[in-house]
Amino acid sequence: MAAGSQAGAHYSLSGKQTVIGRDTNVDISLSDDDQCSRQHARIFELSGQFVIEDLGSTNGTWVNEERITAVTPLNPNDKIRTGTTLFQFQLVKPQTAVPPAPIPDTPAIAIDPHTVPSRAALIQASETNRRLGHENLGFLSEEHGFMPTTPPLLELPPKYKAWDDIAARMPELYRTLSLRSAFDALPVLGVTEADLPDRYLLRASALMSIFGYAYHRIQPEPPDKLPDSIMQPWLEITRRLGRHGPVLSYIDLIIYNWKLIDPLLDDPIRVENMDLLVPTVDNVVERIFYLGQVEILSQLTPAVGAIVRAQEAVQNDDVEALKQELTIITDALQDTTYKSLMKIKLNPYSGPYYVDTVVWAKTVGPLAVSLEEDVPGPSGIASPIFHLLDEFFGRATYSTRLGEEMTHIREWYPPHWQNFLKAVAEVSVADYVLKSRSKTLKGIFQEATQAYVAETGFLGRHRLKAYGFLETAFKVGRTVTIGSFSGEFQDRAWDQVHTQLNNSRLERDHSFPQFFHHAKVEEINTLTDDGADWVKQVVLNVSGTGVRYQAGDRCAILPENSDELVSKMLKALRARGNEPVRLNMAWRQAVNYRKGYEDSETLPLRTLLTFGRIRPVDRPIAKMLYVITHNEKLKKIVEARAEDQWELWDLLALAAEAGFDTRRLWQAHRGEKESICRIVPPESFRMYSISSVMAEEGVKGATQLHLTIGRLRYDTKESPVSVSADRLGTSSNYLTDTSAITAEDMGPVSFQVVHPPRFSLPPDATTPIVMFAGGTGFAPFRSFILERAQQAGAGESWLFLGTRTPADLYYRDELEKMATQGKLNVRAAFSRDAVNLKLSANGNGGEFVFEPGTRQYIGDEMLKEENAAALWHLLRRKEDGGLGAYIYVCGRTRFATAVMDGIKTIIHRFTEGSEAEKAQAVRDELYRLVGDERYLQEIFTTYTGSHIEKRTSYDASEVALHNDEENGYWMIIDGRVYDLTEFAHLHPGGLKIIREYTGMDATHAYQMVLHHANPEIDSMLGMYEIGVVRRLNFGMAWGVLIGPNGLESMTLASAYRIWVRYLYFVIELENSLHNEFTVQEQSTTRHEAPDALSPYKAQLMLQIFKRFTKEYIGSVMGDPLHSVWAVTSGLCAPHEDVRWSADAIKHVEQTEKARRVEQLHAELATMLETVVQQADDVLLQQMGLYFEILETADKNFMRDLRIALLAGIRVFEEFEGNTIVLGRERLLTAVKSVPDVLEAYYTNLFAQLEALEDGAYPAAKATLIHR
Amino acid sequence: MTDIQLMQIKDIMTPHPARIRSDATLQRAAELVAMSRVTDLMVIDEQNNFVGVLSEGDILRAALPDINQIIDEGGSVDTAFDLFLSKGKNLADLPIMPLIIQEPLVVVEDDHIAKATVVLIDKQIRLLPVVKDGQLVGTVSRADVCRAVVGTF
């Protein structure tokens, strides 16, 4: 009750009906209200919707101050007045689970009681649907999975023509903002059983629910209520479908919202062959986003039948059949991940599948946000396939936020789906596999699970895609998602969502049993050996593991340290090696991956060192060692970031020399700081390219797996914090160092196969390929070449090899054979031997010969006249007259850079025009090549050099100047500075997400997407590294300031961080604003010219400006400024008033000019109304002039604010520890200039608005005056 | 080596700690803190019953101006510093009562010293009252424990 004698009271409406009246025996008795009748009104439930009816009262029943004349539906927050008493209607979450919807009476279907529950549910569903002649109870069949058995209906019976017509006009209604008036004018059509046959119900549902949501969401201000033309039929449809309430379900928006362009195509349910049936804006983004989900669901259809058959195989104890079905599931998941999910591209150069995240966030994302809190939205997790796979793989918990949301969604599913999912949960394939003794079965099950949950599997890829959308979406102003995360910019809501997505992926990961494959080393062959360096072929016997792989796949190996290294460690530790070490948590988990050590509680010290991470010395370990030993030399090493110049055993020796007893480490308890378990943590996986192809396809899986491994060796330099020495990498030596032991003596190797997202052969075998291999970068190309040799009609294949001597031509016989048969063109550049490679014909066909020539690098070879011309022809698109080849680069960072430079030089050479035109052509061609995903790199980091060798260092104030196209895009990640100006356009996740973080430290964001753990990306970044961030030393300077609760102390270093945080906050908002404005250059509704200003686009622009004034200015002139002022005045000017900054901003905001600017939003909104009502295009164009002025002003404001703050940051950089003493005046001046930036913004904007209105466009002003 | 007998509070406690009557003034408390060189004073009533603990930190904290006072006096660090001095002066005549920590964590003589150590560290307490039948019988400080457990005598 909102007002009345019992104001504040709550009444529950759970009963059959609730009568309100003056009588004492009614449900809500208002005996004090003499304006109320004895039995005034009643509220009851009708078709899952609460409605109110007046019971013939004297003074009437009012809903939202309108007297009701008939049964009226109630919406949340509706105000109900009976007499003088006011109620507010609210919906609360039901406390108990909603019972599954009943299946209406249908002829009984006889099912054998021994049938597996999921099979029974499947038969029940498909048979019921067949007999009913419609699928209103849920699409479900073996042939079509969760998809309809026939494509969705294109239209309703003729009497509903008005609906079909308006559906077709949706984009236009959006564009002109006339959607609401169009629906207000629409007649109310009945949809009872007598009016509309059951088989039309799903189309009617899709129409009404999309209409309902569109009506609500098209304008930023929600309507008072939905018009009867939508609401009445929608309620009726809801009742007939047995839904809990009106909802835009996943079925409405996705599964029953597509039509085929060409129904006769093979495999027609593909994004490119579909259109939306009921679109809203119908822009490219909407189509790809929704239809992409249709394609994914459709492509996963084989998994539905396979899951049922797999459960049958378990019931029949038929291992072979189970393997078969699991393989089908894996294939379906992998195909869908790489062919359908990866199809949605975020890079604008990727052609027709480009999805602009900003357009998505502004035009598509908001639609599906639930209108009521308890109604689940049609988010990605509403797709039944996730639910099915979860049940099948045995997800045990749903406790994360998204997990709970999934449980909730399922309550709203149609009955067939609910029953099927319940039935699938009854048989645990996972348990069966766990108990099985078949290693192959376990392996195959592991592969299937990984294809679903792994970081590189369906869910992992899905999460990365989602992050790209969500982050941009939040930043450009969508503050609600379907999963009901909300928050302002400062709350970093996108990080929350992202973490939630990852938690739910991990939740699944934990529920599913883990397996690791183990292989025996079969052979180790030396491919080349010059004494110091060598390359070897390692042959793993993987038969019986169930592993399958394809060309381009990688192998993750868990390495072991060599006996030699372990002995050095033992010596440094003064131990014999047989000392038992009790394992801590991390170790106990990690030993499970080591065959024969599963579930170990202790390990002999020698074994622990063998499995541990010793090389290289990680920074946290070096720091920990310093904490334990307090060794002065170690401190210097850590400070100089030179720890990677050392090995753990030499650091220990160093500490021992200074008196530290190294035995302490292995004598310490596993819980203690000194414990060896912490100083030597478990080693992690290392990645290698696979150099072989599978002998046979099918369930049996691979028998052999070849790796090509070069010895990793590097020198460390002599310096005050390092010594000159020869160092070796761990893993390369582990698998190949046969000097001490033979292949037969080697224990089992723990490994996993990992499929890279893009680095694989072209889908069409006739497409030519060009492979650039730097040294052992040849490894993956052996599998490419072997695969191509088997392909009929394969296109041209080229190999460019950059290496030292002809001895480095690994697998020379194979190459010669392929080259002679004309299947491979080989080019080589030798950097140490002055020879050129030639293919010479001889009696047996041909062989490589080495003619005297010159020493050269890969770039020299590429640029030779004949090669350059061939490459130019190969790399160009087919439509430009080229061959559209796929280009692969594999090697170290420097090699990859050389190849890319070579490609750029070739483009430059073969294009015509001025130097500027050529430069542009180079960029365009390269961006498109990458955007087409025809330029694929696999770069491996070996040792990139220590921090101490980096000479170039940069300050934050310099990096902050590079956050736009003109000045380039720089970024700080993990203490290093990168120039990503070129890479931003090559990034698979698109420019916009990179742009968000330019000019600042992006380490956090980088780690959120696990890029640091992804060698593919992490190593590519190396190509763009330009230096390191200079470390500032603030010593121990500190001071006192006035904090939120009174006096507090703060170090100068913390004060600097507060400044930098303010700067980065401003930069992040500036970046985001730039991204946001790009929406105006895009086609937001179908058939809209990208640069045209429509009323809809004008509304989007208005929202940006409004948000800028209301949120951006408020937040950058709010708490961060006041913190910086409190810190700066406290440390530098104790006589200053801590309130100064807040007062100064308030003062500016109160000026006449500021108020005028603020008022402008209301004026522009009024102009837009006129534009819509009178279709006044001239006025719309004039609004465009206001937009131009505002956009420039807003962008300049952010830039000027950034520059103002940089003046302060530079003081810290210049004086470091003496900042307070020497820089106080300048620092104060810098903060004090901040309110001036705001004042200048209002002043300039005001002047421009005056000029505009007095000058060329009096009509605009006239419009304003007349209002 | 640590004497194996030294395991209970009574073995290591300081039996006659600095104490103050609950009706004393802050001036008296300040003098007592300075004289006794302890961080916390034990507060007792007329019947010698244990009442609570008064810490020097709380006395100082009472002298530090809160944000509203700072704002009222001009809002700068300088004024806040002046305010501290004048507030400190004004505290002298006030009773200690409002600053007493009522119902503090206490130990009993039979408690194991490890138990006391846990709470000393966990709750960042420096001095624990030892109470028997409502009467104060001693205190255990961090220093007491250090000396008894890690020290050599």
Other beta carbons within 10 Å of A493: 22
Strand A686-689 and strand A704-710: the pairing is unpaired
Q: In chain B, which residue's Cα lies nearest the Cα of A1139?
A: B75
Identify the helix (H) or strand (E) that includes residue A637: helix A632-639
Q: Out of A1043, A1044, A1138, whose CB is closest to B76?
A: A1138
Query: How far is the alpha carbon of A1132 from chain B, nearest alpha carbon, in Å?
Result: 10
Helices and strands in chain B, H and E counts: 7, 6
Q: Which long-range contacts (C-beta less than 8 Å, at least 24 apart) are formed by A656-665? A: A656/A572, A656/A574, A658/A629, A658/A631, A658/A632, A658/A633, A660/A628, A660/A629, A660/A631, A661/A574, A662/A572, A662/A573, A662/A574, A663/A573, A663/A574, A663/A575, A664/A628, A665/A573
Q: In chain B, which residue's Cα lies nearest the Cα of A1141?
A: B75
CB contact under 8 A, B77 and A1041: yes
Q: From CA A918, how far away is CA A239, in angstroms rounded?
A: 65
Q: From CA B138, how far away is CA B113, in angstroms rounded?
A: 14
Cβ atoms A858, A869 nearer than 8 A? no
Dump pLDDT digits (tens) for B112-131: 999 999 999 988 899 999 99
Residues of chain A in contact with residue B70, where contact means CB-CB under 8 angstroms, are 1042, 1046-1047, 1138
Instruction: Please indicate if any CB of chain A lies within 8 Å of the CB of B74.
Output: yes
DSSP code, position A1111: I
Instruction: Please indicate if any CB of chain B lies within 8 Å of the CB of A792.
Output: no
Report how far Cα A741 is from the mean position of its chain's Cα atoms: 45
CB contact under 8 A, B80 and A1129: no
Query: How far is the alpha carbon of A1049 from chain B, nearest alpha carbon, in Å?
Result: 11
* pLDDT above 80 (res B141): yes
Instruction: Please indicate if any CB of chain B lies within 8 Å of the CB of A1049.
Output: no
Classify domain B4-149 at the CATH superfamily level: CBS-domain (3.10.580.10)
Residue A711: name the closest of A737, A749, A744 by CA: A737
Q: From CA A655, how far away is CA A630, in angstroms rounded?
A: 9
Residues of chain A in contact with residue B65, where contact means CB-CB under 8 angstroms, are 1046-1047
Query: How far is the alpha carbon of A1140 from chain B, nearest alpha carbon, in Å?
Result: 9
Instruction: Please indicate if any CB of chain A lies within 8 Å of the CB of B80.
Output: yes
Q: From CA A1058, how far away is CA A1045, in angstroms rounded?
A: 18
Dump pLDDT digits (tens) for A453-481: 887 789 888 877 777 677 766 666 543 33
Cβ atoms A858, A800 nearer than 8 A? yes
Which residue carries 């224990």 as its tokens? A747
DSSP code, position A99: P
Q: Which residues of chain A have pLDDT under 50?
A: 93-101, 478-490, 511, 513, 738-741, 1262, 1264-1267
Instruction: Please indicate if any CB of chain A lies within 8 Å of the CB of B85.
Output: no
CB contact under 8 A, B70 and A1041: no
Strand A41-46 and strand A17-21: the pairing is antiparallel
* Domain spans in chain B, listed from the N-terminal domain onward: 4-149
The confidence score (pLDDT) of residue A616 equals 79
Report how far Cα A1141 is from the mean position of its chain's Cα atoms: 39
Helices and strands in chain A, H and E counts: 48, 36
The confidence score (pLDDT) of residue A713 equals 56
CB contact under 8 A, A1139 and B75: yes
Other beta carbons within 10 Å of A1214: 15
CB contact under 8 A, A1129 and B64: no
Per-residue tokens: A817:
């054979």
Instruction: Please indicate if any CB of chain A lies within 8 Å of the CB of B75.
Output: yes
The confidence score (pLDDT) of residue A943 equals 52
Per-residue tokens: A712:
């990793």
Cβ atoms A280, A174 nearer than 8 A? yes
CB contact under 8 A, A1134 and B78: yes
Strand A686-689 and strand A725-728: the pairing is unpaired
Which residue carries 């080495």 as its tokens? A850
Strand A725-728 and strand A713-716: the pairing is antiparallel
Q: From CA A261, how far away is CA A268, in angstroms rounded?
A: 9
Report how far Cα A795 is from the mean position of its chain's Cα atoms: 34
DSSP code, position A883: -
Per-residue tokens: A351:
């052609």
Prediction ipTM score? 0.83
Q: From CA A1107, how far away is CA A475, in angstroms rounded?
A: 11
Residues of chain A in contact with residue B75, where contact means CB-CB under 8 angstroms, are 1042, 1137-1140
Q: In chain A, which residue's Cα lies nearest the Cα of B73?
A: A1137
Cβ atoms A44, A14 nearer than 8 A? no
Backbone region of residue A648 per phi and psi (left: phi > 0; alpha: psi in -120 to 50; beta: other values): alpha
Instruction: Please indicate if any CB of chain B lies within 8 Å of the CB of A1137.
Output: yes
Q: From CA A326, how far away is CA A447, in angstroms rounded?
A: 9
The confidence score (pLDDT) of residue A699 equals 61
Q: From CA A1231, how far away is CA A1122, in angstroms rounded?
A: 10
* pLDDT above 70 (res B53): yes
CB contact under 8 A, B75 and A1042: yes
Q: From CA A546, how far away is CA A538, in angstroms rounded?
A: 20
Helix (H, G, I), strand (E, B) or coil at A9: coil
Q: In chain A, which residue's Cα lies nearest the Cα of B74?
A: A1137
